[in-house]
């Protein structure tokens, strides 16, 4: 890695660094993802209904469940200190979603 690349990475916000670590963890689980950052938060886009966001302290994403009591979506959270475990959990959710929410032909065409 060049000195310029090291400086560029060092300037990124904590959320962006945490998101990038999660993306790399997902890659090791054979799951592709994109990182988007701005305004002190970062998003890891994995699949339809699977978007992980982080503030640099915690990863959060929708579990796919809704509270019976409130009718609101239930989210899970993992500390960014263990991106490998978080990546395994996100990969598990990704595989659940792939079974029930296959990509549309348009999205599949663009991804190939």
Check residue 9 and give its pLDDT.
54
Which pLDDT tens digit goes with each residue over 21-76? Answer: 999 999 999 999 999 999 999 999 999 899 999 999 999 999 999 999 999 999 99
Residue 8 has a pLDDT of 58
- Do β-strands 41-47 and 50-54 pair in parallel, antiparallel, or remain unpaired? antiparallel
Task: Tell me the C-alpha distance between 90 and 109, whole Å.
Answer: 24
DSSP 23-38: HHHHHHTT---EEEEE
Q: How far apart are CA 7 and CA 15, in angstroms?
A: 17
- Three-state DSSP at 67 gives coil
């Amino acid at each position: 890695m060049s000195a310029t690349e090291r400086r560029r990475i060092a300037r990124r916000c904590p959320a962006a660094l945490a998101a990038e670590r999660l993306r790399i963890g997902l890659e090791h689980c054979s799951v592709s993802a994109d990182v988007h950052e701005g305004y002190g938060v970062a998003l890891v886009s994995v699949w339809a209904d699977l978007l992980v966001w982080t503030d640099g302290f915690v990863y959060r994403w929708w579990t796919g469940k809704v509270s019976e009591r409130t009718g609101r979506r239930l989210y899970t959270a993992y500390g960014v200190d263990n991106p490998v475990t978080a990546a395994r959990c996100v990969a598990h959710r990704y595989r659940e979603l792939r079974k029930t929410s296959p990509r549309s032909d348009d999205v599949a065409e663009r991804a190939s």
